Homo-oligomer: A and B are copies of this chain.
Amino acid sequence: MIFSTLILNQDTPIYEQIENHIEKAVKAGALIKDSKLPSTREASSVLRISRNTVLTAYENLESRGIIYSIKGKGSFVKEEAKNDWQEVNIKWKQRINSYGQTCEQMDIIKTEPHYEKGMISFKSIAPEGNLFDVEEFKRAFLDVMALEGEKLLNYGYAKGYRGLIEYLMNYMEGKGVGGSKKDILITNGFTEGLDLILSTYTQPGDVIVCESPTHHTTLKMMKAYGLQVVGVPMDEQGILPEELEATIIKHRPKWVYLTPSYQNPTGIVMSGERRRMVYGILSDYHTPCIEDGFNEELLYSSSHIMPLMALTGESNHIIYIGSLSKILFPGLRLGWIMADSACIDTLESVKRAKTIHTSFVDQAVFVQYMKSGAFERYVKKAKKYYREKYLYTVEQIKEYIPYEKLWGEGGLHIFIELNHKIDTRELLKQCYRRGVLFMPGDIFEPSMKVTSSLRIGFARLKKEEISKGLKIIGEEISKNIIP
């Protein structure tokens, strides 16, 4: 009998073991077409298991087309039917549309050299996890679960968790943002916020103006949506107003995308005066602007600077995307869009067609954590920690790197423009061979052209790594300089 060779183990459900056993026997030719299987009663008695288990196995085998049954007669081996089907081999990589192609071609995880153990990587701008106050986070979790656990685990609303929306309304008011018709939508981080806006308000071929260089992920997303990206240069005060105005006149863009505070990758903080000039230009030309509130909280030295949105009053052309999760719990993926309520109303529908809503547990825990006062303590601690590393990194750059300009006054990275025309893409290849990684400037260029700039992220590196890594970069640079 077929089951005499079956020894049951403890690790797999018994019905599965029976299925596998019979399937193998059929495939191996041990059971041939139309041969009768043991009755469920026989099998259960031989294997000392319940009849139901055998029944389940037989039913599964039947639904998989391996056996068939005739009422009152029993179960029989069917021909292996799988062989009837053609093997289908879709060439998935050839089916990708232009959106998907750009997402893949500009995916730096795929295109940039990979970190390997023992290397020194200046690539990342992720925060240092040791600084996170896990205990306070746990407390916040237990508090909200005790209060409304069942509710948080069930479906929520696309717009977001009410407590978090109210908290952020207040938080934005603290940044000087007022006006009666503004509203907030909670998103899965900055990235979803931008995706919602681009997917709703753009058409392929539209022009979008941004700072040059700019945030790589934004660049990738704009290009994936088929937008024509036009970069405008910056100085230490931020984007150049005359150039911005000239570009708007020339290209009549549908959008401008700006990161006024702590711009990525340069770290430039747009001055108050420049903000007012830029805002004036946007207003004169009635040009909508996506304002990226990137890491505003992590400035070391500047006083609290108002976002562009604080200048709007009752105007509605600025859409602000915020994300505290860049420095605080990026693993949670929480962000928000603040905009005119008519705009939020539409984006809420789009969100419902993309991700339904953002995790309600995460939202509730997050706001509870924020309200506990832990955030202020964290920012204080983080600023001190990163400032020290920042100053050390600057010192080491001055020691080893022949730079033209050193940008940035805060955050988790420094942007360097070398004082020689060295292709930093090539430089990276050389440094990689010596175990050092950084972000070459070309990935931040709207034109994608080669640059002699690079971004150095330092948040998670030890001092000795920073020093050693910069020394190697410096050495490789000097090899490229023909005296």
Contacts and interface: CB of A to CB of B under 8 A. Distances in A.
Interface of A: 13, 16, 55-56, 59-60, 62-65, 81-82, 84-90, 92-93, 95-97, 99-100, 103-104, 107, 109-110, 126-127, 129-130, 132, 134, 137-138, 141-142, 145, 149-156, 158, 174, 176, 188-189, 191-192, 195, 199-203, 217, 220-221, 224, 271-273, 275-276, 279-280, 282-284, 286, 288, 303-306, 310-311, 313-317, 329-333, 340, 342-343, 346, 349-350, 352-362
Contacts of A288: 90, 95
A95 B199 CA distance: 12
A154 B217 CA distance: 18
A199 B192 CA distance: 14
Contacts of A13: 174
A461 to B, nearest CB: 15
A284 B305 CA distance: 63
**What are the 7 A-B residue pairs with the smallest beta carbon separation, nearest first?**
A63-B272, A129-B150, A100-B200, A134-B149, A59-B303, A107-B349, A331-B360
B60 A330 contact: no
A150 B132 contact: yes
Contacts of A284: 86
A95 B288 CA distance: 11
Contacts of A152: 331
B145 A137 contact: yes
A356 B200 contact: no
A137 B92 CA distance: 38
A192 B355 contact: yes
Contacts of A350: 99-100, 103-104
What is the predominant secondary structure among interface residues of chain A facing chain B? helix
A411 to B, nearest CB: 15
Nearest to A220: B353
B56 A304 contact: yes
B342 A85 contact: no
B346 A358 contact: no
B217 A104 contact: no
Interface centre among A16, A88, A199, A305 (most CB of B within 10 A): A88
Contact of A90 (B16, B141, B316): B316
Given A60-B306, A89-B315, A134-B153, 10 more contacts: A64-B272, A64-B311, A81-B276, A82-B311, A86-B286, A87-B314, A138-B141, A189-B355, A191-B354, A192-B354
A88 B287 CA distance: 9
Contacts of A156: 331
Contact of A153 (B201, B275, B332, B359): B332
B155 A331 contact: yes
Contacts of A331: 151-156, 359-361
A360 B282 CA distance: 39
Interface centre among A104, A110, A221 (most CB of B within 10 A): A104
Interface centre among A82, A153, A188 (most CB of B within 10 A): A153
A303 B58 CA distance: 10
Contact of A104 (B221, B275, B310, B349): B349
A97 B340 contact: no
Contacts of A60: 176, 303-304, 306
A53 to B, nearest CB: 11
A356 B137 contact: no
Contacts of A142: 138
Contacts of A356: 188-189, 191, 333
A359 B366 CA distance: 12
Contacts of A343: 92
22 contacts: A55-B303, A56-B304, A62-B272, A63-B271, A63-B306, A64-B310, A64-B311, A82-B313, A87-B313, A96-B200, A97-B199, A97-B200, A100-B350, A103-B353, A132-B149, A138-B145, A191-B354, A331-B361, A332-B361, A333-B357, A354-B354, A355-B355
